[in-house]
Amino acid sequence: MGSGGGAADPVFVKPLRILSLATLFPDAARPNFGLFVEKSLRALAAQSGVDLTIVAPVGLPPFPLFLHPRYRALRTLPLVDDWRGLTVHRPRFGLIPRIGTPRNPAAIARIVLPLVRTLHADQPFDVVDAQFFYPDGPAAMHIANALALPFSIKARGADISYFGHHPATAPQVREAGARAGGLLAVSHAMRNEMADIGIDPAQVRVHYTGIDTTRFCPGDRVVARAALGLGSEPTIATVGALIPRKGQALVIAALPALPGVTYLLAGAGESEKTYRALAAKLGVADRVRFLGPVANADLPQLYRAADIMVMPSANEGLANAWVESLACGTPIIISAAGGATELITSATAGQIVARSPDAIVAAVLAVLGNPRDPNAVAATLAGRFDWDRNGRELAEHLRGLAA
């Protein structure tokens, strides 16, 4: 103890030991996969008094399916690696594509438990964190139960809108939600969706994503357009996987009524051939550009180059691309999915429209006819999306569970 009148002795505070389970996490084979999970965990690890262990299970099918090119690169990933300064464990679990989805949480827990028991014996964990509701959530439930620890789960979008409703997985989602010590959701709308499937909303804390505003910010649109080979033509864009849920087909179908408008699609996915065929059928193929996957470092330039980001998803939590676009000063036209109303707080930010080509045409023409000031568009975010805040809130949430 300190002597009378002297400075108090420093008090040692035990670090909060967190085990974070994240099936959505980047790796050398998929550097853009789960980037926002990585950024959130990086912000968490940066908080004072936090000791974070990340386990990112990798699913591989049995022979001969694992010879497929989709899995070839995953087989060569190290079991433990230093991912941009974060130590990440990557144990392999067996999966059967499509039909084996209901078994994935148990398969993950079975393969992860021996690893985390060893880590726990060396330095005990205080809490288990699941970064996606399915399969991470039920897997975290099994792991936390085995270690007698509290656990938390975060809901991001399809993990509730799809897995929370599918008969084969919904019971596991509901059970994990009921047994978790605390829950997070990316938006108020996501919390409402969780309530709709029977999860107590009183247990759910809204935890907005973050954004690096030193990169995602208004910039020189002329330079950005030139870098993409664009001239003065009106340009709209969509950032997201090329899958039906994201709604790119609706935007392509709107193009015949938007003469002279160029459409950029950033992303890859199963529907690319379908979208190319649709563009050709409608006679707009010369105005539709498939950019493929765009590296995160290049996204700010893409957002600035577009006059409008058009993203009419069938469902979302709170899409990262929505936030990034606004931060770069580009208005968005989106469907009434997930947290849409939490972002479109004024006409400056853009419009929420029905998921139909006609509604998209009307909104695009209206926004093109009334250009927004990029700085005013970015200001609509009002500082709500910040990685340091995201990390602080996550640490506070998990510290509360551990206590």
DSSP string, 11-48: PP---EEEEEE-SS---SS-TTTTHHHHHHHHHHHTST
CA pair distance 81, 269, nearest whole angstrom:
28
Full 3-state SS string of 330-399: CCEEEECCCCHHHHCCCCCCEEEECCCHHHHHHHHHHHHCCCCCHHHHHHCCCCCCCHHHHHHHHHHHHH
**In contact, 204 and 318? CB cutoff 8 Å:** no
The strand ranges marked E within 61-216 are: 80-83, 86-89, 92-94, 127-130, 151-155, 182-185, 204-206
pTM score = 0.84
| pLDDT values of the chain reduced to their tens digit, one per residue, 403 residues | 343 444 555 555 689 999 999 999 999 999 988 999 999 999 999 999 999 999 999 999 988 877 788 788 899 999 999 999 999 999 999 998 878 899 999 999 999 999 999 999 999 999 999 999 999 999 999 999 999 999 999 999 889 999 999 999 999 999 999 999 999 999 999 999 999 999 999 999 999 999 999 999 999 999 999 999 999 999 999 999 999 999 999 999 999 999 999 999 999 999 999 999 999 999 999 999 999 999 889 999 999 999 999 999 988 888 889 999 999 999 999 999 888 999 999 999 999 999 999 999 999 999 999 999 999 999 999 888 999 999 999 999 999 999 8
Domains and CATH numbers, the chain: 16-210+387-402 (3.40.50.2000), 221-379 (3.40.50.2000)
Computed on alpha carbons and rounded to an integer, the radius of gyration of the chain in Å comes to 23
